[in-house]
Chains A and B, each alone.
Chain A
Amino acid sequence: MGIKTFIIAEVEQGAISKETYELVSFAGTLSERRPVIIVLGRDIEAQAKEVAGKTGCDTIAVSGEHLELYNTQAYSEAIMDVIRPDSPCCVCIGHTSMGYDLAPFIAVKQNAACITAVESVHGGLFSRAICSGRFTEDIIPETESVVVTILPGAFPQCNSEPKGSGSLITVKATLPKRKSRTFAVTESLYRDHALKDAEVIVSAGRGVGKKENISLIKTLASVFPKSAVGASRSVCDLGWLEYNHQIGTTGQSVSPRLYIACGISGAIQHVSGMKDSQNIMAINTDPNAAIFRVAHWCIVEDLTTFIPIFIEELKKSIP
């Protein structure tokens, strides 16, 4: 690929996110040519300098007061102003709330293919998970310009010592044409220390079938000292458990010594919040469920009949 590759960096709590460094690795698999990194924010030069130094990539710092909090309109127009002169080009963004928000817009403006949540790439094929991770599809872009979002964690962070720092260009973003303002950011309404402190988390998915069956999950959790009950987002949406039990990208991230997933399919948005658990067990009726790809022990059973049997056997085993 002879065209230029741009990486849209993300800033998290004042620092360049680790996903940004993963994007640099990803870009390295596409082309020999070093990517150009774009960093946006209110006053972003320090972070831009840091990423240029650590990666050796030329970096463009786009600053503006209206870029303090992420805003679709403000960010997309600022990015287009930078990349437009270099079209056709390839644009890489993390598959984060910012990335999936921006990517389709940039793709339309560039007449580019838009490929989201990419997990790997080989021979021009971009692979991504579909159907809650049950299948992988291989996508081939048919356009000159391509916009991709990369699943966080799919590529390692780049860590080779660069020969020298990349150049730094600073630009002031112009105000967007349309009125759109992000005026506040609020913390999550749901936090649960029980989940953070637990050594064992037993989690319920939609596979529990009905609200009454949550008691099975609670019974299973009660077997372990220092345990807590977790949930997939679907279970909270259904009102079977409160949102402070939700585990995943938009819930809490946990890494207990043991995580038991009951009736959870293993969609990436759930898995990203629990995959760092030291030991993972999963109970699911579907032998091909994606959760079995992160689990260390897999039990293909109907949880509504299996958990009672497990409890019975456990009682028998205690003298």
Chain B
Amino acid sequence: MKILVCVKQVPDSCETLHIHEPTGWIANLPSAVFRMNRFDEFAVEESLLIKERLPGTVAHALSVGPKRVNSTIRRALEMGADHGIHILYPDAGYISPYTVATLITTYARTKDYDLILAGIMAEDDMACQTGQLIAALMDLPYTTSVISSEIDDEAGEIVVGREIEGGRRLMVRFELPAVLTIQSGINTPRYPSLSNVMRARSQQHEVIRAEDLGIPQVRETCAGLRLPDSASMGTFIEGSPREKARKMIQVLHEKAFLP
């Protein structure tokens, strides 16, 4: 089996983000720390579990983004992925899931992957579409929100559990090659082993410039960002921690939650 895992780098905390007034786009404070999108950690882990089950399997980790995303690719290698691919795309504000999916598809089309894994959603743009776009562009079957997977190697098929509203599951069987978007909780992402950390430190990533793959024409643009309507904010309880605690107790008494 040859597996491609798409990993996105996201800011560790939303608190280091602010709106850069001149451009109207998100800017990262100098203190910003970046990490792998959490849903993608589950996708990397799933590829490693398949690798352990089916000897001879290789897992490649791919990320689209500016230079800094190489630390996220390295993280995937530290977890146990075999090869890192970096599609270098400048840090230029809004990047459409369609652009990312097209770049990944152009790269992957000739590489004969049996399985392409993505996270169900990126924590920053919350689009829930990149994996499905890749599948549609490559004309591959896909399933989103995968919470269990079992490969039937001989039949060239896969059986997945797809989590839907209320935690119910649809069980689906379909043919490989295919694309899956992984839901959190499908497994427990591992911590890197020391030997993999050492290996990842010296391993070169395959770096490809997005321009060389061909950047598609945009299908949507972002007019800008803003803070959500502040009218919807609740009442902020002010004061020292102790004062806040007392006010909270008062409210709870008034509403008869406390005896």
A116 within 8 A of B: yes
Contact (Cβ within 8 A) A188 B167: yes
Bound together, the chains give a CA A112 to CA B220 distance in angstroms of 9
Closest to A115 in B: B220
Q: How many A-B contacts are there with CB distance less than 8 Å?
A: 262
Asked whether B97 lies within 8 Å of A180 as measured between CB atoms, the reply is no
For A257, list chain B residues within 8 Å (CB). 257
B245 adjacent to A292 (CB under 8 Å): no
Q: Among the listed B26, B129, B173, which residue makes an inter-chain contact with A103, where contact means beta carbons less than 8 Å apart?
A: B129
Binds B, one of A154-162, A165-173, A307-315: A307-315
Contact check, B220 vs A143: say whether CB atoms are below 8 A apart.
yes
Q: Given A100-B144, A187-B168, A297-B251, are A138 and B224 neighbors across the interface (CB < 8 Å)?
A: yes
Residues 166-198 of chain B: 1 if any A CB is under 8 Å from the residue's CB, otherwise 0? 111111111100000001110010000000000
What secondary structure prevails in chain B residues at the interface with A?
mixed
Q: A181–B173 contact, CB under 8 A?
A: yes
B145 (CB) vs chain A CBs: closest residue: A97
Q: With the chains together, A41 CA to B126 CA distance in Å?
A: 29
B201 beta carbon closer than 8 Å to chain A: no
Q: What interface size band does chain A fall in? A: 35 or more
**Interchain CB contact under 8 A, A309 and B129:** no
Scan residues 111-164 of chain B and give those whose CB is less than 8 A from a CB of chain A.
123-130, 132-133, 135-137, 141-145, 161-164
Is A298 part of the contact surface with B, judged by Cβ < 8 Å?
yes
A313–B219 CB distance below 8 A: no
A252 contacts which chain B residues (CB < 8 A)? Answer: 166-167
Q: A139-B223, A185-B171, A186-B171 are in contact. Are A313 and B245 (CB under 8 A)?
A: yes
B233: A residues at CB distance < 8 A = 292-293, 298
How would residues 286 to 300 of chain A score, 1 for a CB under 8 Å from any chain B CB and 0 otherwise?
111110111111111
A129 and B220: CB pair below 8 A?
no
> Contacts A141-B220, A180-B174; is A290 near B228 (CB within 8 Å)?
yes
Size of chain B's interface in residues, with CB distance under 8 A? 76
Interface set, chain A 259-297, CB cutoff 8 A to B = 265, 267-268, 279-282, 285-290, 292-297
Please state if B248 and A281 are interface contacts (CB–CB under 8 Å): yes
A25 within 8 A of B: no
In the bound complex, residues from chain A placing their C-beta under 8 Å from that of B183 are 250
Q: Of the candidates A113, A239, A280, A293, which one forms a contact with B220 in the assembled complex, judged by CB atoms under 8 Å apart?
A: A113
Verify if B218 is at the interface (C-beta below 8 Å from A). Answer: yes
Contacts of A98 in B (CB 8 A): 164
Q: State the Cβ distance, A273 to closest chain B Cβ, in Å.
A: 9
**Stretch from B13-21, B57-65, B70-78 contacting the other chain:** B13-21
Q: Compute how far the CA of A182 lies from the CA of B90 in the bound complex, rounded to whole angstroms.
A: 41
CB distance from B152 to the nearest CB of A (A): 13
With both chains docked as a complex, state the minimum distance between the C-beta of B11 and any C-beta of chain A, in angstroms: 8
List the A residue with the shortest CB-CB distance to B163: A250
Q: Which of A169-221 contact B (CB under 8 A)?
A: 178-190, 200
C-alpha gap A258/B255 in the complex (Å): 10
Docked-complex contact A298 and B174, CB < 8 angstroms = no
Interface presence of A69 (CB below 8 A): yes
Measured CB to CB, the nearest residue on chain B to A136 is B228
In the complex the two chains form, what is the Cα distance from A315 to B27 in whole Å? 45
Given A133-B228, A143-B220, A179-B175, A72-B142 contact (CB < 8 Å):
yes
Interface segment, B80-88, B206-214, B236-244?
Answer: B236-244
Given contacts A185-B170, A250-B165, contact A236 B98 (CB under 8 A): no
How far does the alpha carbon of A286 sit from the alpha carbon of B14 in the complex, in Å?
Answer: 9
**Given contact pairs A113-B219, A114-B98, A138-B226, A310 touches B141 in the complex (Cβ within 8 A):** no
A112–B219 contact, CB under 8 A? Answer: yes
- Cβ A108 vs Cβ B126 within 8 A: no
User: Are A297 and B237 within 8 A (Cβ)?
Assistant: yes
Indicate if the CB atoms of A114 and B219 lie closer than 8 Å. yes
Binary per-residue interface labels of chain B (9-34) against chain A in the complex, 1 for a CB within 8 Å, 0 otherwise: 00000110101000000100000000
B-side residues, CB < 8 A to A, are 14-15, 17, 19, 26, 38, 94, 97-98, 123-130, 132-133, 135-137, 141-145, 161-175, 183-185, 188, 218-228, 232-237, 241-242, 244-246, 248-249, 251-252, 255, 257-259
The 8 A-B pairs at the shortest CB distance, nearest first, are namely: A188-B167, A108-B136, A104-B132, A180-B174, A113-B220, A97-B164, A113-B219, A184-B171
Known pairs A190-B167, A234-B38; list 5 more (Cβ under 8 Å). A112-B219, A132-B14, A243-B185, A279-B257, A287-B236
Q: Which A residues have a C-beta under 8 Å from some C-beta of B? A: 69-73, 95-98, 100-101, 103-105, 107-109, 111-117, 125, 128-143, 178-190, 200, 223-225, 233-234, 236-237, 239, 243, 246, 249-253, 257-258, 265, 267-268, 279-282, 285-290, 292-301, 305-306, 309-310, 312-314, 317
